[in-house]
Amino acid sequence: MASTEDKPTNKTEASSWKDSFYNPRTGEVLGRTAGSWALILLFYLVFYCFLAGMFALTMWVMLLTLDENIPSTSPERDALTRLCLTRR
């Protein structure tokens, strides 16, 4: 059981955990202001857009290396056939 020392002695101690989520005096949410949250969200938006662009660029470059007239499973392009690892 909790002793009297563990229990909050006044209302300000009991409401202090609520202030850590939203502090009405400073307008902070989880210890950050609205401008701070906006900068964090802007950073992650730019970061993930950069990652998506880099992925699209690598896929485009990879697709440029494929020839539409030669099937990708032809024996000339198959690594196992060139190494004689297949059975005929």
Place of tokens 């198959």: 78
What pLDDT is stored for residue 34 in this prediction? 85
Instruction: Give the integer Cα–Cα distance in Å for 57 and 69.
Output: 23
CA angle 47, 48, 51 (to 5 degrees): 90
- Give every CB contact of residue 46 below 8 A, 6+ residues apart in sequence: none
What pLDDT is stored for residue 18 in this prediction? 72
Q: DSSP per residue over 3-35, as a string? A: -TTTS-SSHHHHTHHHHHHEETTTTEETTB-HH
What pLDDT is stored for residue 1 in this prediction? 47
Instruction: Give the start-to-end residue ranges of the domains of the chain.
Output: 11-82
Q: Classify strands 22-23 and 28-29 as parallel, antiparallel or unpaired.
A: antiparallel
- Give every CB contact of residue 50 below 8 A, 6+ residues apart in sequence: none
Q: Over the chain (88 residues), what is each successive 10-residue block's mean pLDDT? A: 56 65 81 89 98 97 84 63 58
Report pTM: 0.56
